Every structure is written in structure tokens, then in C-alpha cells.
């Protein structure tokens, strides 16, 4: 969960020019990375690319442990965003609103991702545990995967998600998406059109989480859930187009 997005925070104070060799470390893409990490990684990449900041993505099996604070890119995204001079473009109300939406995304979508990964037994057994333990040799991989699962389950219990069923979680996600669709309405941007590229962190974190989730859910034959979210998918497509237009199609789904 803790992507080493901070790897480049250490190389960069908000006021300093963006370093040329900024690198994002993420778990191994083919064998190891899980939905939630993938989502976080996509969020950061989308944000940076829409800002026009070059970043190189490197896969490391120990990416999770490389961040000294154990925090992940959320804090980084907000921090950098706040320090960015372009954030003046929004007024206070809009900024607060945007923060609220970002919180919604993080609290709801990220928790749902974690729930699906570790609390749903079928997914945990078939996907999460084998993938999480893949870089390690026996019996370390098993120990680490169980440790992780236990940790996440404890966290889920703490936020009151422990007793939820899979259907309830889908329902929550669905509501969250509806809220976002409503905010979006028929306009193509979440906030001021003019500044969509200046302040894209909200759509980007959304993009990351929703795209990653859509990807995985489609694979799990859970398309019914997304079919209900047509508006939202339309929004996603827009972000895709914008991204593609702006940064030469660096992100593909």
C-alpha cells in the first residue's frame, strides 16, 4: 500500500524545480502488484503526466518498504498540490470541495480495494496472497502475506468494515461513484474547465482507482456493477482522452 512515491519527495521540495531523474518505485508489475497499489501508482503517474512532469517508473519487489515513513502517495499528492503555486487558481470553496471529493475517493475506493483484496477469501486465496508473496522464497512469502492480510483485516475492523459483505461494499462503491457522477453532471471536468490540467489531482486519483478497479472487476466478471455507472465511465473516457491528448498517450488501459 505504501508506494515509494516519497522516493522523489526527498529529491524535491515544492519550490524547487522538478528533478529530471524523478523516479516512481512500484511493486513488480507482472507478478506482484495488487489492485490498491496499482491504483495509487496510476493516480500519481496520471497526475504527474497531466502536470507535464516527467517521471520514470521502476519496478522493485521491495517498493513497499522503501518509503521511510511508510506513508503512501496520498500525503504526497496533497502536499505537493498545496505547495504548488497554480493552486491559487481555485477559490477556497472549490479547494475545500475538491479536498472533500479526494477524501471520498481515498476513504471509499481505497478501503473497498483493500477489502476486496484481503477480506474476500476467494480473492485473497487466489490472487492477493500468491501475488503478494511472489518475490519471496518459502516460507517467508507465506508469512508476509498472512501478516499483511491480518494487518488489513484489523484496519478494516477498526473502520467498521469488518462485518460488511461483498454486496455491501459494492453498494458503497456504487454510491461513491454516483456522488462523483452527480458532481460531474454533464460537464467534462470536475472543476473549472480552464484549470483542468493545472489541478488534475482529483480526477487523477479517481482515474487511478477507478481504472484499476474497472480493470480487475471486469476480469472478475463483475461488469454488472460497472454497467450501472455509465456516466462515470464516460467521465473516465474523457480523462483518458485528455491525458492522451496532453501527454502523448503515455497511459494506456
Q: Indicate the residue among 125 and 143 with the shorter CB distance to other proteins.
A: 143
Rounded Cα–Cα distance for residues 242 and 24 (Å)? 22
> C-beta of 85: minimal distance to other proteins in Å?
25
Cis peptide before 229 (omega within 30 of 0): no
Q: Indicate the residue among 11 and 192 with the shorter CB distance to other proteins.
A: 11
Which residues, listed in sequence order, are joined to residue 83 by a DSSP beta bridge? Answer: none
Residues 33 and 40: beta-carbon distance below 8 Å: no
Q: Tell me how many residues contact other proteins (CB under 8 A).
A: 19
Residues 120 and 166: beta-carbon distance below 8 Å: yes
Residues 173 and 179: beta-carbon distance below 8 Å: no
* The one among 1, 3, 4, 102 contacting other proteins by CB under 8 A: 4
Q: Indicate the residue among 18 and 136 with the shorter CB distance to other proteins.
A: 136
Instruction: Please list every residue from 123 through 162 that binds other proteins, using CB under 8 A.
Output: 136-140, 143-144
Residue whose cell numbers read 521540495: 13
> C-beta of 139: minimal distance to other proteins in Å?
8
* The one among 26, 40, 43, 67 contacting other proteins by CB under 8 A: 67
Instruction: Please list every residue from 69 through 128 that binds other proteins, using CB under 8 A.
Output: 69
Query: Which residue from 3, 57, 61 is spatially nearest to 32, judged by alpha carbons?
Result: 61
Q: Indicate the residue among 36 and 133 with the shorter CB distance to other proteins.
A: 133
> C-beta of 129: minimal distance to other proteins in Å?
15
> C-beta of 61: minimal distance to other proteins in Å?
7
Rounded Cα–Cα distance for residues 240 and 29 (Å)? 21
Q: Residue 245's CB: how many other CB atoms inside 10 A?
A: 9
Rounded Cα–Cα distance for residues 161 and 175 (Å)? 16
> C-beta of 55: minimal distance to other proteins in Å?
16
Binding window for other proteins (CB under 8 A); candidates: 57-65, 88-96, 212-220, 243-251 = 57-65
Cell numbers of 11, please?
Answer: 529529491
Query: Interface with other proteins by CB under 8 A: which residues?
Result: 4, 7, 10, 60-62, 64-69, 136-140, 143-144
Amino acid at each position: 500500500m505504501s508506494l515509494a512515491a516519497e522516493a522523489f519527495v526527498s529529491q524535491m521540495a515544492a519550490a524547487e524545480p522538478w528533478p529530471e531523474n524523478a523516479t516512481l518505485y512500484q511493486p513488480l508489475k507482472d507478478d506482484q502488484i495488487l489492485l490498491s497499489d496499482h491504483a495509487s501508482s496510476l493516480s500519481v503517474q496520471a497526475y504527474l503526466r497531466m502536470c507535464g512532469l516527467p517521471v520514470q517508473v521502476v519496478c522493485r519487489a521491495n517498493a513497499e518498504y522503501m518509503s521511510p515513513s511508510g506513508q503512501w502517495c496520498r500525503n504526497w499528492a496533497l502536499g505537493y498540490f498545496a505547495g504548488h503555486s497554480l493552486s491559487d487558481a481555485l477559490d477556497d470553496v472549490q479547494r475545500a470541495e475538491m479536498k472533500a471529493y479526494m477524501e471520498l475517493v481515498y476513504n471509499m475506493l481505497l478501503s473497498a480495494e483493500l477489502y476486496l483484496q484481503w477480506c474476500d477469501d476467494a480473492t485473497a486465496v487466489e490472487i492477493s496472497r500468491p501475488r503478494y508473496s511472489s518475490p519471496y522464497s518459502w516460507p517467508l512469502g507465506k508469512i508476509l502475506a498472512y501478516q499483511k492480510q491480518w494487518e488489513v483485516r484489523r484496519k478494516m475492523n477498526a473502520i467498521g468494515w469488518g462485518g460488511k459483505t461483498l454486496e455491501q461494499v459494492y453498494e458503497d462503491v456504487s454510491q461513491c461513484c454516483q456522488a462523483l457522477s452527480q458532481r460531474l453532471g454533464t460537464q467534462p471536468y470536475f472543476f473549472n474547465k480552464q484549470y483542468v490540467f493545472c489541478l488534475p489531482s482529483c480526477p487523477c486519483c479517481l482515474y487511478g482507482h477507478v481504472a484499476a478497479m474497472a480493470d480487475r472487476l471486469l476480469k472478475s466478471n463483475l461488469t454488472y456493477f460497472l454497467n450501472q455507472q455509465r456516466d462515470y465511465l464516460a467521465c473516465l473516457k474523457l480523462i483518458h482522452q485528455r491525458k492522451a491528448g496532453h501527454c502523448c498517450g503515455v497511459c494506456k488501459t
